[in-house]
Chains A and B, each alone.
Chain A
Amino acid sequence: MEIKKGIAVSPGVSIGKCLIIDSEDYRIPRRQIEPSQRMAEVQRARNAFRDAIQELTELETAQEQTAGGRIKDIFAVHLRFLRDRSLRRKVTDAVHSDAISAEYAVSTVLREIASHFTNVKDTYISERAADIYDIERRLLKQLLGHTREDLDCLREEVIVVARELSPTQTAGFNKAFVKGIASDAGGRTSHAAIVARSLGIPAVVALEDLTEIVHGGDTVIIDGNRGLVIVNPDDDTIDQYEAYSAEFVALGHKLDTIREKSAVTRDGVKVMLLGNIEFPSEAASVLDKGGDGIGLYRTEFLYLNRPTEPTEEEHYRAYAQTVGVFRERPVVFRTVDLGADKYTQSKRFAPEPNPFLGLRSIRFCLQNLGMFKTQLRAILRASVLGQVKIMFPLISNIQELMQAKMILHDVMEDLDEESIPYNRDLDVGIMVETPSAALTASSLAREADFFSIGTNDLTQYTLAVDRGNELVSTLYSPSDPAVLRLMRMVIQDAYKSQIDLSVCGEMASEPEYVMILLGLGVRTLSLSVPMIPEVKQVILSVTMEDCNILTRKVLGMNSERQISNYLRNAARKILPAAF
């Protein structure tokens, strides 16, 4: 039994068999073995070759009936590689001479071969590196249990363990079978965390070297309340956790009873609770959990896991489906927020040296007008089906907003010419998530129908902390006085200009921040769907007077630690079970 401490990012407890996911950019960690283990490790490597050959032979035979020669050729080539004695010898020699694990030997040997191909000038031949990576994955799959490819065809419940999860990987999850997530890297707002919360499964991140400790198929417990991962727990621990898990589920059921209630403070102030969604399939769960609409519809999913850009029809179908569920309730579409990720980086000749300060989000859209207009057309077409709003992300100056609005008007004119109906008066707002936007909120407010504060990026950019970097992630906190002061400015400017304001970052999903947000004047929260009941429970339990007093106190404090302790204590008094 081994207990690892990380950061709890999504509540709940899960016990299950773990599945390790490797990512293409990630190397299998070097693991030294005892000299006495060498023979056993060599045997593992041999078995992996044998099993991979068997698996591939079956695939090849199955292919014979169906597809044409191309795929068969690929399988045939891979089979010959697996049967190649000199390749096998290279792997087993590496295990022997360097005393390393079979996984690491497979990975280093094959990556060395792959890099040999990558360095060839002829593009046709250099692309063959992909074949080698495929062979590597096939072997690693035998050694590690499963791999990424199997995520969409899971047959049993698993706990996913990864170095770091990419959006592409999580988009491929078969959500019915993933019971928990644990990752080496990441912070509260890493992708793994966001996805786990939206799925309502427990997650713990920043575990540093978990992937080196677990083996595929090990039993693990994910404690998403305390931030613990227990590898190969003993029977007592499992019993203890099963009881604890049941208790937690019971709390969830208790909260379900408030689903029909409006989120109103004890002194009668109504708060609108909207859901943040990542996939159209989550739309229905917003209503299930008692949400009033969608405050952040992330539209990037359409771009993931595919080689080509989505068509206008594909955009439209996804949007129309969601808007149809909500009808008169608001659905806020955030325009494509790609950037600083694989999608945009892979399209570049050389990766950007500093992608978070680079061509991302609205900047990327403004330089890729064809793609941007396609999405705007689809949103506008869907606008006749309900209460659709458009939100531009990462606006950092007024010119960007003007330019984006101008393009929206161009698209409107195109639709007019084609006599395609849309709602001409739909609200167009921005996310305030850069310090520059926060500082110029008063002028941006004249051009925007609403603001939504994106606390994740606002915190990252204000504090100059990469939220995904575990070395500095402790510095990342929305309760830093700098962040709170910027937020107060934005909220006051929105009030002065009489435009709508909401908060849609992860901060809004955390019960401990509810009081300060209300005290700062926020009346609309857009949050991770499974957290809606808990946040509602907090709102139902407080008075605005409590919130105002707390906020005045907090704004007088100078340190993040003091503020976050104060907020946590205050929240614990209200909803003890959630902390």
Chain B
Amino acid sequence: MQAGEETLEKLVGEATVEIKNADGLHMRPAMQFVDLASQFDCDVTVSNGETDVDGKSIMQMSMLAATCGTRLKVRAQGPEAETAVEALRELVEVRMFDEPPPEGQR
């Protein structure tokens, strides 16, 4: 074990987010998610309870095929973990990928 590694701060962030836009996590939202996640200096893992995927890979994220109402667990690990999780939560739940919610909830 190299010197310094154990003193490296283990920064971890975690949040459960719910997909709220009507069309779900299709290609364009997946792209937004990945683009945002990639801006932070940390690893991002997203889980739908069954599979864990890399939050910086559009292939893996889109394959989650998360529909409206799906809950995802977002975990980040690294120096910017907390900021990353907060920013991603905001994108998914508040901005809703700049897309409308389902009919009836507008």
Contacts and interface: CB of A to CB of B under 8 A. Distances in A.
Interface string B54-87: 1001111011010100000000000000000000
Interface in A112-168: 113, 116-117, 120-122, 124-125, 128, 131
Given A77-B31, A86-B54, A117-B65, A125 B59 contact: no
Contact of A80 (B24, B26, B58): B58
Nearest to A74: B27
A86 B31 contact: no
Contacts of A125: 23-26, 65, 67
Given A76-B31, A120-B65, A128 B26 contact: yes
B95 interface: no
Interface string A74-87: 10110011001111
B24 A122 contact: yes
A514 B74 CA distance: 76
B24 A81 contact: no
Nearest to A77: B27
Q: Which applies to chain A's interface (DSSP): helix, strand, loop or mixed?
A: helix
B65 A77 contact: no
Given A80-B58, A116-B63, A73 B28 contact: yes
Contact of A113 (B28, B54, B63, B67): B63
A73 B27 CA distance: 9
B27 A131 contact: yes
Nearest to B62: A128
Interface of B is mostly: helix
Contacts of B65: 116-117, 120, 122, 125
Nearest to A78: B27
B23 A124 contact: yes
B34 interface: yes
B26 to A, nearest CB: 5
A351 to B, nearest CB: 25
B57 A85 contact: yes
Contacts of A113: 59, 63
Interface in B11-58: 23-28, 30-31, 34-35, 54, 57-58
Nearest to A110: B59
A119 to B, nearest CB: 9
Nearest to B57: A86
Interface string A209-234: 00000000000000000000000000
B41 to A, nearest CB: 17
A81 B59 contact: yes
B60 to A, nearest CB: 6
A40 B60 CA distance: 27
Interface in A228-246: none
Contacts of B60: 86
A120 B23 CA distance: 13
Interface in A84-122: 84-87, 113, 116-117, 120-122
A87 B34 CA distance: 14
Contact of A77 (B24, B58, B63): B58
B28 A124 contact: no
B50 to A, nearest CB: 13
A211 B63 CA distance: 32
Contacts of B24: 122, 124-125
Contacts of A121: 67
Contact of B26 (A87, A116, A124): A124
Contacts of A86: 54, 57, 59-60
A534 B67 CA distance: 63
B102 to A, nearest CB: 11
A82 to B, nearest CB: 10
Nearest to B53: A86
Contacts of A74: 27
A116 B54 CA distance: 17
Contacts of B63: 113, 116-117
B58 A84 contact: yes
Contacts of A116: 63, 65
Given A80-B58, A86-B59, A122 B27 contact: no
B106 to A, nearest CB: 17
B31 A87 contact: no
A80 to B, nearest CB: 4
Contacts of B57: 84-87
A52 B35 CA distance: 20
A515 to B, nearest CB: 62
A455 B63 CA distance: 50
Nearest to A126: B65
Contacts of B31: 73, 76-77, 80
Nearest to B68: A122
11 contacts: A73-B31, A77-B27, A77-B30, A80-B58, A84-B58, A113-B63, A121-B67, A122-B24, A124-B26, A125-B25, A131-B27
Interface of A: 73-74, 76-77, 80-81, 84-87, 113, 116-117, 120-122, 124-125, 128, 131
Given A74-B27, A86-B60, 12 more contacts: A73-B27, A76-B31, A77-B30, A77-B58, A86-B59, A120-B67, A122-B67, A124-B24, A125-B24, A125-B25, A125-B65, A128-B26
Closest 3 CB pairs of A and B: A120-B65, A80-B58, A122-B67
